[in-house]
Structure formats: C-alpha cells, structure tokens
Amino acid sequence: MIWEAVKLAVQAIFRNALRSFLTVLGIVIGVSAVIAMVTVGQGSTEQVTADVEKLGTNVLMVMPGQDAMQGGPATTAIQQFNIRDNEALQEQLAIVDISAPLSFSRARAVFGNENRRTDIIGTDNRYFEAARWEVAIGRVFEPSEIQSGKPVCVLGETVRKSLFGYADPVGETIRIKTLSCTVIGLLQSKGASTFGSDQDDFVIMPIKAFQRRIAGNTDVSTLYLSVHEGVSTDRAKEEIERFMREIRHIGANEDDDFTVMDMKQISTMLSGITDILTGLLSAVAAVSLLVGGIGIMNIMLVSVTERTREIGIRLAIGAQARQVLTQFLVEAIVLSLIGGLIGVVLGLVLGFVGAQMLAVPFAPEPGVVLLAFAFSFAVGVIFGYFPARRAANLDPIEALRRE
C-alpha cells in the first residue's frame, strides 16, 4: 500500500513538474544553505586550528594591559614592558625555552619608485626560532647587529613582491621613514591567515634599531615565549603570571596590568567567533525550510481542491479515509524529500566551492547533512498532514458533485 502511494505521489508530482519544483525551492534553498554554511564554518575552524599549530602549541604571548575581551577593566595608562622584562623571563624562569621581545609600528617602506605601507617589527633572532620562521634567501641578524642596533632588515614575501617583484632583495637598501635599511634576508611565505590577513606583510629589524630610529622609545609591545616541551601551557601561564606580578611589583589585592595568552586560548577564541557566525547564518538559512514547508502546505491544499472529484470517486468505490490521508501525506513527504535530496547535493557543492574560494579545508559534517535531510522529512510530515486530513475528511457525495 505504501509503495502504491509512493508511485501515485511521484506521478502527481511529475504531472505538474514546474509547480512541484517551485514548491520545493524553499526546501532546496534552506537545506543547501545550512549545509554550505556549516561546511565552510567547520573548514574555517579547522584552518584556525592548523594555523595556530603552525606557530607551536607551546607558545604564549604576554602583553601589557588587561584583556578587554575577558572583562578586564579599561586602563588609561598602561605600563609598557622593556628589554629587562624579557631578559628576566628568559634567565630566571626555568620553564621558558625562548623569550623574544617584539615592538610594532606601521610605516611606508620605499625602494626606488615602489613603496608599500606595512608592519615594522623590532625583535631579535629568538623570534624567528619561537615563531618557526624559516629563511628563504639570505640570513637573519648577526649578534653584533642586534647589539649595536644596526639598520638591517629581513622582509616578508609580500613586501618583497611589492618592492622588488621576484628579484633577490638581499643587499639592496630600502627606506623606512627617514631610516635607510639594508636587506639581509627574506623569510619563507606563510600566506594568508584564516581570516584573510596577510602573514607575510612585514619588515623585521633589530629591536634597538627599531626603538631608536622608528619608535623613539624603549617600549616593548609583546613578549613572545615558547616553553620547554612537555610543559603544559596552563602551568606555564600560571608561573608566568606569578613571575610578572613579582617583577612589576603588583600587590596582592591589585589586578594584573598585563595579559598572558596561549595559542590554545587564541584558537578557542577564533573558533568561537567562527561558530557564532556559522550558527547565525545557518539560523537565517533555516528560515527557508519553514518557508518551504508553508509552500508545500499551500500546494497540497491546492492539489486537494483540484482533485476533489478524484477523491470522491475513490471514497465512493470503497477507499478508506486513512488510505486517502496516506496518499496525500506520502505525496507531501516525497515532495519535501526530493527538495531535501537536491538541497544536500547543492549544499555540498556550494560548501566545496566556498571552501576553495576561502582557501580552507572542505569539511562536511555528516551529522548536519543527516539532520538537514531529516528536517526536510519532518517538514513534509508536519505541513502535509493538514491537507491530507482535509482530503480524507471529504464527503464522497459532495466531492462527486464538484466539477
């Protein structure tokens, strides 16, 4: 009986193919949009995790001021770090493997007729090791260059392309503000991050040269740390916080005036943002499923009206009301399942295209695909029941009078 109902449903659907397609369009859009959004969102989350792992799972960053995202109070005057803070961490804290000072600025780098506004970073060779940067051409700083603050620099691939094209920049001199800086090296490209920021858009120079000639002060913006293998970042974070409170003379009842963040925390934060955006977009897309369900109910009510005489004949020759109800209910379910199947295929295709465009992994979620398909089935049952019940409750005599 069910198989006969399915065959009748398919015949009725294909008898009005265009109307049926327009009816299930809401289901198709809803299912495909949800699957595509979740697939791209899952891929973005995996890419964030992979990007963070490239930096090392044992890396932490210490920054002056409290983390506003975690409810830290706003501070009007933040006590900056200095080189002595970095050296104290390196020398006195046993869990720290590498501690590198970082200072940042934005400035225009100029070579001949070419120029680019980029990040200027002051640091030393420990940063290259901690951040796992590899040299493509040339070298990093000599100890004498770091100590004396000699104006030499290492470029990221984006700056190299902007100023030199694909030529070897080593030995050339670029200008940053009023400082002439000799290029001694080029780093391997890391490409764009998950959120599209360029990881190769920078010029790195010895921190003393940066402080004297670019910043005009001795401040250090960030302490970039890696801890020894086998030391958990949670334990490292606690020890670093305790140590920083000591060297910055923070009282027992006073709040920290610095923030320690590890890569796991950054990954969780970025993944959380991705999950929220994916959830919001998926919720908006899911509204199309509701619209599709209303469309199915509407078209099934029209179908009942158009086929009133047919229903009357079936009831008059002995068909039971539950058989008529089953026929129309199955028709609504088949209609929604066709929309769900098309939506799943289209959603996976859109998810693949979106992942390729955003350069993130294609990561379909089987559970979401099954849930979206099951939801399309539920839409057919819920929104098809009322028209089917209406057909089953028709009076055969009144139905036969209809033209």
What tens digit of pLDDT does each residue of 234-262 get?
888 889 999 999 988 888 888 888 988 87
Nearest to 149 by CA among 86, 63, 244, 213: 213
Residues 279 and 393 in one domain: yes
| Angle, helices 321-358/308-316, rounded to nearest 10 degrees | 140
Residues 380 and 278 in one domain: yes
Phi-psi region of 355 (alpha: psi -120 to 50; beta: other; left: phi over 0): alpha
| pTM attached to this predicted model | 0.62
Measured CA to CA in angstroms, residue 360 lies from 75, 276, 369, 374 at distances of 37, 18, 19, 27
**For residue 258, is it within any domain?**
no
**For residue 263, is it within any domain?**
no
pLDDT, greater one: 73 or 19: 19
Q: What is the mean pLDDT of residues 390-401?
A: 63
Nearest to 7 by CA among 353, 375, 326: 326
Q: Is the pLDDT of residue 69 over 60?
A: no
Residues 23 and 121 in one domain: no
Whole-angstrom distance, CA of residue 49 vs CA of residue 267: 6
**For residue 86, is it within any domain?**
no
How many separate domains does the chain show? Answer: 2
**For residue 161, is it within any domain?**
yes
**For residue 382, is it within any domain?**
yes
pLDDT at 314: 67
Residue 100 pLDDT grade (very low, low, confident, very high; cuts 50, 70, 90): very high
Q: What is the mean pLDDT of residues 181-202?
A: 83
**For residue 199, is it within any domain?**
yes
Whole-angstrom distance, CA of residue 171 vs CA of residue 184: 6
Q: What is the mean pLDDT of residues 268-285?
A: 68
Residue 313 pLDDT grade (very low, low, confident, very high; cuts 50, 70, 90): low
pLDDT at 73: 44
pLDDT at 74: 44
- In which domain, by residue range, is 192 found? 98-228
Residues 115 and 207 in one domain: yes
Residues 214 and 121 in one domain: yes
Q: Is the pLDDT of residue 93 over 80?
A: yes
Residue 68 pLDDT grade (very low, low, confident, very high; cuts 50, 70, 90): very low
Nearest to 247 by CA among 122, 373, 64: 64
Nearest to 133 by CA among 100, 164, 161, 109: 100
- Which DSSP helix (H) or strand (E) runs through 269? helix 263-306
DSSP 204-249: EEEHHHHIIIIISS--B-EEEEEEPTT--HHHHHHHHHHHHHHHTT
Of all residues in the chain, the percent with pLDDT exceeding 70 is: 75
**For residue 84, is it within any domain?**
no
Any alpha helices (H) in 113-154, and if so which ranges? 125-130, 143-148
Residues 193 and 290 in one domain: no
Locate 185 and state its tokens.
């090296």
**For residue 195, is it within any domain?**
yes
Residue finishing a domain among 228, 259, 292: 228
Beta bridge partners of 116: 109
Locate 178 and state its tokens.
């009023």
Q: Is the pLDDT of residue 5 over 80?
A: no
pLDDT at 71: 45
Beta bridge partners of 202: 119
pLDDT at 70: 47
Q: What is the dihedral of CA 227, 229, 234, 235, to 10 degrees?
A: -80
pLDDT at 369: 84
Whole-angstrom distance, CA of residue 111 vs CA of residue 109: 7
Residues 196 and 276 in one domain: no
In this structure, which amino acid lies at residue 231?
V
Residue finishing a domain among 209, 228, 247: 228
Whole-angstrom distance, CA of residue 53 vs CA of residue 290: 41
CB 106 within 8 A of CB 120: yes
Average pLDDT, rounded, for the chain? 81
Q: Is the pLDDT of residue 195 over 60?
A: no
Per-residue pLDDT tens for 105-141? 999 999 999 999 999 999 999 999 988 899 999 999 9
Q: Is the pLDDT of residue 292 over 80?
A: no
Residues 189 and 277 in one domain: no
Residues 212 and 318 in one domain: no
Helix, strand, or coil (residue 142): coil
Whole-angstrom distance, CA of residue 69 vs CA of residue 338: 46
Residue finishing a domain among 174, 203, 228: 228
Nearest to 98 by CA among 63, 133, 127: 127
CB 243 within 8 A of CB 93: yes
Residues 43 and 116 in one domain: no
Q: Is the pLDDT of residue 37 over 90?
A: no
Residue 201 pLDDT grade (very low, low, confident, very high; cuts 50, 70, 90): very high
Residues 210 and 111 in one domain: yes
Residues 196 and 311 in one domain: no
Locate 219 and state its tokens.
């401040």
Residue 399 pLDDT grade (very low, low, confident, very high; cuts 50, 70, 90): low
